[in-house]
Structure 1
Amino acid sequence: MAFESEQEPSDQCAVVLRYVTDVVHEKLNAVIDCESSTGQYFVELVKQTLEKMDIAIKKCIGNATDGAANMQGQYKADTTGVVVASESLFSLLNDIAVFIRDSYKRMKLWEENSEDKRHRRLGVIGEMRWWAKDEALRKVFGRFAKPDNALYTDLVITMEKIEKDVTMKPVI
């Protein structure tokens, strides 16, 4: 005998807490039926959930979503565009990726200086693509306590060679 739910399907929000000791931990703390999908609603939802769990919001340092467009905009929750330091960082990472890939000469220098060819493409960061910001950070700087595959050194060497290359236009 099959049972059918009489309830209407609803959107749900998973609240996952991530914290760092000597390693990164993630814990699913709640799955909550959502009444709205605005950024402001999610801010209030997170506040209420943390209060119920007796976690001081002032001890929390970040918030992330699955890339939902409803979290973008002046009155929403995209802190990467509001905090000057993070906006500058993501803008710089994006500008470097565009700068290198927009010239076959610069791309050639990049490829010559990147010893490991796996995952060596620097990606352009889309304004609405939060995962692209995370991916750009991980490519350039590596993962928490695991910088082995980071491209930072290769990037600095490539940029220095571009600067010193007399065949490049001086305005660059």
Structure 2
Amino acid sequence: MQKVPLTVRGAQLLKDELQHLKSVERPSVIEAIAEARSHGDLSENAEYDAAKERQGFIEGRIADLEGKLSYAHIVDPKELDADGKIVFAATVTIEDCDTEDQMTYQIVGDDEADIKQGKVSVSSPIARALIGKYEGDVAEVQAPGGVREYEIVTVQYI
């Protein structure tokens, strides 16, 4: 399996979720299964079925998070020395060449992407178009409405 790129913040979020699942959710669902079992006949026990389904989801998510963290390549943007080049974890301000609207994005891993917080996935079309470029360059992004051009205003490693 290949390395999964994560920022320091993204790795911490996954670790926090994993800790919550193991220390809160797992014991809770085990208790719910025990409670449902105490009600008798399991063949027609909807509470038991629901608790077992929830347990399967929790255990699957725990396995998924442990796998991602074991293959994680954690990148601290403050420690990057990319000489102004756009790389994973960089924060980039771009300007739409048509509308002159400015946007700021940080390029992050797939699990931490959240467009509302200005975090775009490294595998998104805009990130793929920006990676490798420098301040002042123009990036062409294939959007659903056609090709859009963005000028790179600033590149930061924060």
Give yes or no for TM over 0.5.
no
Shorter-chain TM-score tier: 0.3 to 0.5
Say which structure, 1 or 2, has more relative contact order (CA 8 Å, 6+ apart): 2
Bigger proportion of residues as strand: 2
Normalized against structure 2, the TM-score is what? 0.33
Normalized against structure 1, the TM-score is what? 0.31
